Amino acid sequence: MAKSLVIVESPAKAKTIKKYLGKDFNVEASSGHLIDLPSNRLGVDIEKNFKPQYVVISDKKKFLGQLEKAAKKVEKIYLASDPDREGEAIAWHIVDRLKIKNRAFRVLIYEITEKAVQEAIRNPISLSQERFEAQQARRVLDRLVGYQVSPILWKKVRRGLSAGRVQSVALRIIVEREREIESFKPEEYWTVEAGLKQLLESNGISFIALLVKYDGQKVEIHNEKHALEIVEALKNKKYSVFSVERKERIRNTLPPFITSTVQQEASRKLRFPVKKTMSIAQRLYEGLELGEEGPVGLITYMRTDSVRISEHAVAEARSYIGENYGADFLPETPNIFKLKRSAQDAHEAIRPTAVATTPDQVKPFLSEDEFELYKLIWQRFIASQMSPAVYDQTIVEIEAGKGLFRVTGSVMKFPGFTATYMEGKEEEEEAKEKEEEAKLPELSEGEELKLLNLEGKQHVTQPPPRFTESSLVKELEENGIGRPSTYSTILSTIQEREYVVKEKNRLKPTLLGSSVTDLLIQGFPEVMDVQFTADMEEKLDEVEEGTVNWVELLKRFYKEFSKRLTQAESSMRSLRREGVPTDVECENCGSSMIIKWGKKGEFLSCSRYPDCKNAKQFEYNEDGEIRIKEKKKPEIRNDILCDLCGKPMAIRTSRYGKFLGCTGYPGCKGIKRLKDIQGEEIDGLKEAQKDSKEKKKESKRKPFRKNSAKKKAEGKSQAKGYQA
């Protein structure tokens, strides 16, 4: 019989760890959080120092029961949930529920390898009260905002909406970028470009130089007339090399991945949504089956903000580089990367658990997505310990009459780390880099050049681009909004709530998202402030460090927040009543139509409602203009006649499927079952009739209780409406 119990979060992790521990250990999984705040009420006693009212999650009771049973049979219990705040909270809740404080030990496993697991078990630590309180403070903060602001949105817009302390600020950033784009006024400007080549080289390299100075002044051309005047003045001039500047440019290697950078890079290079990246990374960390070797954890823990690497991992990487690339690719001393000021540095960067486990070796055992992400992490880590890339950069200036042209070329002299890994770029950065890497011939000062063509080119200034998932994560990180473990939840929540949609892989706020943002800024300016949210993240970090008391932090926050709650009920606009104005005219009464939101999303309603009840479904055309959706006319089957009145039947659709209904409806209510072309019965009618019978039986068995039904509905609405 096992003498010790190890509790982890997932069955996959349990399976991998089990093979590294002997028969004296039983390994069980909690399957994530077992304890949380209740889903159908606030669950925080504000008057009693914000005491959380924890409950067992309903679908986790069986897992708690299994752990209770297993705990009774052992002497020691090792809590090996993930080494972060969430994992610490899971450990604390298990200890509290199982009453095992005197025989429970915390173990932090940053990589699931035999050495790391056994070392963690040999060196257990005490549970961290500070880390638990930091997680608890965040959970309570998010609950206070979500459960008290969301109902106001239900009253002002529609039911089912949610507000979140961090998600709403992320939404604001997207909305404000969209408004920058909408208000942007493009400006015309022109450039003059010369196509040139060496005079004596008939088959030499041609290149394009840009006019940078004219008559001794920096070139600024705002219209076609001015551009054509310059072209005319320079087209017959002699073109010769004025100066050639050659210099060596060093491109330093990149640090290994942290959570935010792996999310950004997987988005840019693999087109993975952030949520998908984290899900795959979790599997790579917990362990995947590698044939006869069994489950193996392939990467270190994936929620980290540190670029630090252990000495043995650096030694492995340097050994591999020396053997496979040669001494030139290996720097004299290991590369060490500077930590950001805000980094907690709790554990290492994301890296492979074993450098020798190359992507090609494990490829047969992984799915395509798992392989691509593992390869990205493995290559980035190896590259982080390689020599810099070296480029020869040449800047050539060419004179012609009063004009001075310039062209820059860059040639790789030594690939360095780029032999293994090249960082992905956003489209705008990639275009700029291509401009700076022109291929140039060997040129010397005073050398005459041949003019191939000279032309003025029109350009228009561009608005800032919409955020991609990767660029939004970068923006959130730079502004101190959220933490590595929260980016995935933020992005998925604002999309699931239909506040944001993806267009060509870029995030665009919906009208609902923009409207909710405006209401929240009006009612809760502090909560929606970027700097306020960043400061709160720092305060939570200080709770973990033990320098700030979590209850005092909540008291200071709630003092102002509670005032805003009281004011918001009366001060915030009601879009449920006012809607969003449009230029569409109501065909029934001539009044303007307004956009409102219902269970099925946006719809047009007459502004004179309830006097005029005209409502329409609509969509947006390519120019963003409103277009009324036309109701689909039912398909009439002249070959099938109604048994009651003899009129043709029409194919109609109910929530149960398709059926045949009389075209004389509502005068005639004749219906029939519809058969598809294979002759199989479609049960739209059958299911509708069956459902109707069941409802009649149910109403006879259970009398309707107004109060209990209302209470249940409110609980479901709250559970559905809130997402932190």
Residues 320, 376 contacting (CB under 8 angstroms) = no
From the number of C-beta atoms within 10 Å of its C-beta (0-12, 13-18, 19+), residue 571 rates as exposed
CA distance 702 to 205: 87
Beta carbons of 260 and 477 less than 8 angstroms apart: yes
Name the pairing type of β-strands 295-296 and 55-56: unpaired
Give the tokens for residue 552. Answer: 């005092």
- CB 76 within 8 Å of CB 124: no
Q: Which residues contact 703 (CB under 8 A, 6 or more apart)?
A: none
Percent helix, strand and coil across the chain, each rounded to 5? Answer: 40, 25, 35
Report the alpha-carbon distance of residue 114 to residue 111 in Å, rounded.
Answer: 9
Q: Residue type at 300?
A: T
C-alpha 357/C-alpha 598 separation (Å) is 53
The reply to whether 656 belongs to the active site is: no
Partner residues linked to 125 by β-bridges: 106
Q: Answer yes or no: are the C-beta atoms of 410 and 395 closer than 8 Å.
A: no
The residue annotated as part of the active site, out of 147, 301, 421, 722, is 301
**Residue 329 CA: distances (Å) to CA of 318, 333, 393, 420:** 9, 12, 21, 10
Confirm if 500 and 507 have CB atoms less than 8 A apart. Answer: yes
Residues facing 628 on adjacent strands: 618
Please give the single-letter amino acid code of residue 19: K
What is the 3-state secondary structure of 350-413?
ECECCCCCCHHHHHHHCCHHHHHHHHHHHHHHHHHCCCCEEEEEEEEEEEECCEEEEEEEEEEE
Any idea which residues carry the catalytic annotation?
301
